[in-house]
Structure 1
Amino acid sequence: MRMSRRTFAAAAAVVLLPLSACGSGGGDASAGASGRIEGDITFQTWNLRANFKPYFEGLVADFEKKYPGTHVKWIDQPAEGYADKISADAAGGTLPDVVNVSPDLVAPLAGAGLALDLDKAASRYRGEYLEGAWDAHRIPGMSGTYAFPWYLNTGPLFYNKSLFTEAGLDPEQPPRTYGELFTDALRMADRSGGKVATLANVPTIEDFGRYGVPLMDDKGTAFTFDDGKGVELLAKYKELYDARALDPQALTATPESSGRKFLTGAVAMNPGSALDLGNFKKQAPDLYRNIGITDQITSTGHVNMYVMGVMVNARTARKPAAVAFAHYVTDAAHQMAFARQVAIFPSTAGSLDDPYFTKEDGTDETRVRVAAAKSLKTAVNYTPVLFSEQMKTALRNEVAKALQGKESPQEALDNAVRECNTLLRQQG
């Protein structure tokens, strides 16, 4: 499994079915996490066996050697239907003791009393992780953290220096905030006669977050991205769309189509990975020679991270062993070892200062890795854990109506929030 930014985001976007059949856990499900580490536990991962079988088999063997009397059964589920599998296991009382999850998968499990609150059961480990990563598995309206943060990913932006130069912009000073982006994009569209757009994608929920829009109320009962700041962002994108500073095909763009636009010089900025750099080198050598790498656009000072986690079943009969193993999988040494096998980043504090993430060796892989690692130290997960795929579709549809002039930005976001809140109530 090659974990580029885009494949990571796609993998982490699966929606878990409602767990109404589970009920809520009684008593303090976080109790009993201390004690003798022993017994049999089951560890479930998400589409990792095919490429990383030796790593995980070694991990399990080392844990069992460290804690005699333990036995870990490792099972791996395919990517397709993973959320359905977790939902069925939760409803049937067969949820594994330790489970590989993303934040959106944790939310209904925590609400059903099935995810262990680590702020209560394993608070002694909190300082080992980046603050933004630990907080990624908090659930609005609930106190606590419901999974150990595991591997992270993010993506820097690529930009075409020659297109910036042609527009009279400094190729060594790409835009970093949305204000700078809007100014530069309008200038590039004007100088090119509308032939060069700066962006190829419409704003997503992460863009609203990076712009500083409050996405949800503190209780987790309603979405709020239709406030004045959210409307301001969408109005700016409408201005870009009208000026052809946003690609005309952005309404139906896919990562692949956006990548082709960037490859041909029709778009000046696009997210990507080291794999893309390799393709540029072969297919567009002029672009490759003029490629720039910069951080995601953000007006908050924090880029977006994608995060995977390891959850402990709150009802496991072997809580000390399950907590110990979940921590073992995600501790600094093992995260660092895993990061050397696949293009992901550790969530543990201090790990991103390792020379592996700070020193370039002239290869495309390290160029991207160093740029991404630098931004991850203070990154946050902007996507609300309760924001489902249906909600993303609702937002995208309303954004399209606003850009096409069928609705005002305020009307579009009001409609999106209304539909998302309806879906949110249905989840409950």
Structure 2
Amino acid sequence: MRRYWAGMAMATTLVVSGCGLGGTEQEAAAPGPSATGEVKGEVKGKISLQTWALKPKFTGYMQGVIDAFQKKYPGVQVEWLDQPGDGYSDKVLSQAAGGTLPDVTNLPPDFALPLVKQGMLLDLSQADQKLAGEYVPGGVDAYRYAGFNGVYGYPWYLNTDVNYWNSELLTANGLDPDKPPADLDELIAQAKTVKEKSRGKVYLMSRRPELGDLTNIGVKIMSDDGSRFTFNTPEAAALLDRYRDAFKQGLLPRGVLTDTYAGNAKLFTEGTVAWTTAGGNFITSLAADNPSLAPKVVPSVAMGTPPLYVQGLSVSKRTANAPAAIALARWVTSAENQAAFAHLVNIFPSTKASAGDPFFSKSDGTPSGDAKVIAFTSLAKAEMLQPVQVTEAMNKFVRQQFALAISGDTTSKEALDAAVAKCDELLKG
């Protein structure tokens, strides 16, 4: 799920120039919103805003947001640039290296981290004293980084995962779809029932554990200073042991440990497994892929702490127009503008003020409506379960080691030790 967001282009399937640069750090850090939420300092001048893969589908929405901002602050001129989905991270790093980082840039937390390390982003917790009070905690925490003080992004749009159960398969195999598993113990117990009733033709469990599963049982993935990985614990080994035993009992598909595994969402869509996790809009897409299955799907809250997927807006530390840049970032991420965005695409707003919006908090009584409400209400406690320092190369090696442990080709402790050693090597490299 690391690339869950590849700009809004991916989210819909579920999902600037250097003007104003060159100010000193002292000048950039001083302005910010007052205790009433109004921005300190005069909001004027030319500022640049860069988004990721919003044109052309969302040009009308974004231009409307920008026009309204310029109407509120007549002395401001916003230059809007939008970058294609592919290669966006490299583009941002190139801008930073060339001194042309926009005043306000759409950055997911992992894309922001290299810029934080280089001291290129404004600490918004100092510039905006109301930040933590107005956005959901998980969204704010996503822009806090081990080894660095501060918050380096306004949460923009969010998503999380929901459990989805095939009620027809559950009922046919001796389970109550109104009482789906709420934790791993219940999941394994009910997986045994499904195997016995279906004679091995249907699976309930169909995914292997990842680092987020370790977080969910209280395992710390990294040290507090972000300098090393720490997930090779007895608790982590015990979790892998449980999956090894379940795999040995035939409770998971044989191919689940291979790199060519189709994935539980695909198998769920095909009707061969009874459980998957996916975003809050999954039933909507399922209705197109398997119309007969969609009405039979029952959603429930994710087990443990729900995962959080975040997009946000960061402000350049070198902007010469910090009051205008901060005001624009707050404007785009306001409850009203986020709600309007969520009516166009299946995402959720990051502001606490959105909690009472019936569009998100009230179901229409359909499974799809129920799933949307479950996902939205889960955001209040959702967290990023995997540190942003974890790269795809690290993830690949971790998956390989976990597969070796679950298949029984190595012990869980050996697999975890090897994974931590490799991740530490890649972190330092």
**TM-score by structure 2 length?**
0.88
1:105 to 111, 119, 130: 111
Aligned residues: 408
CA distance in 1, matches of 2:68, 2:227: 43
Contact 1:278 1:364 in 2 (8 A): no
CA distance in 1, matches of 2:303, 2:237: 18
1:355 to 349, 358, 362: 358
Q: Are 1:72 and 2:78 counterparts? A: yes
CA distance in 1, matches of 2:236, 2:426: 20
Change (3 A) 1:176 1:364: closer
Q: Are 1:194 and 2:200 counterparts? A: yes
The aligned runs of 1:18-167 (5 Å cut-off) are 30-33=29-32, 34-167=40-173
Q: Are 1:425 and 2:421 counterparts? A: no
The alpha-carbon deviation at position 222 of structure 1 amounts to 1.2
CA distance in 1, matches of 2:29, 2:107: 18
CA distance in 2, matches of 1:417, 1:45: 35
Change (3 A) 1:324 1:275: closer
The aligned runs of 1:241-390 (5 Å cut-off) are 241-252=247-258, 257-273=263-279, 276-278=282-284, 281=287, 287-298=293-304, 302-362=305-365, 365-390=368-393
Residue type at the aligned position of 2:66: V
Partner SS for 2:130: helix
Q: Which residue of 2 aligns with 1:22?
A: none
| Fraction of identical pairs, as percent | 39
The alpha-carbon deviation at position 237 of structure 1 amounts to 1.4
**TM-score by structure 1 length?**
0.88
Contact 1:169 1:184 in 2 (8 A): yes
Structure 2: unaligned runs, 5 residues or longer:
11-23, 33-39
The alpha-carbon deviation at position 400 of structure 1 amounts to 1.4
CA distance in 1, matches of 2:213, 2:147: 23
* CA deviation string 1:63-116 (max 9, x = no partner): 111112111100000110000001111111111110001111111111110111
Contact 2:49 2:78 in 1 (8 A): yes
Partner SS for 2:222: coil
Q: Are 1:226 and 2:237 counterparts? A: no
CA distance in 2, matches of 1:10, 1:409: 33
Contact 2:44 2:321 in 1 (8 A): yes
Q: Which residue of 1 aligns with 2:408?
A: 405
Residue type at the aligned position of 2:408: G
The alpha-carbon deviation at position 423 of structure 1 amounts to 1.1
CA distance in 1, matches of 2:303, 2:350: 22
Contact 1:200 1:249 in 2 (8 A): no
The alpha-carbon deviation at position 264 of structure 1 amounts to 3.8
The alpha-carbon deviation at position 242 of structure 1 amounts to 1.4
Q: Are 1:176 and 2:214 counterparts? A: no
Indicate the larger mover: 94-103 or 366-375.
Answer: 366-375
Change (3 A) 1:335 1:407: same
Residue type at the aligned position of 1:247: P
CA distance in 2, matches of 1:231, 1:28: 50
RMSD of aligned C-alpha atoms? 2.5
CA distance in 2, matches of 1:367, 1:51: 27
Indicate the larger mover: 66-75 or 263-272.
Answer: 263-272
CA distance in 1, matches of 2:293, 2:377: 24
Contact 2:165 2:298 in 1 (8 A): yes
Structure 1: unaligned runs, 5 residues or longer:
15-24
Partner SS for 1:249: helix
Q: Which residue of 2 aligns with 1:204?
A: 210
Change (3 A) 1:285 1:121: closer
CA distance in 2, matches of 1:419, 1:10: 27
The alpha-carbon deviation at position 312 of structure 1 amounts to 0.3
* CA deviation string 1:359-390 (max 9, x = no partner): 22255642331221121121111121211111
CA distance in 1, matches of 2:359, 2:136: 18
CA distance in 2, matches of 1:379, 1:280: 24
Change (3 A) 1:245 1:425: same
Q: Which residue of 1 aligns with 2:21?
A: none
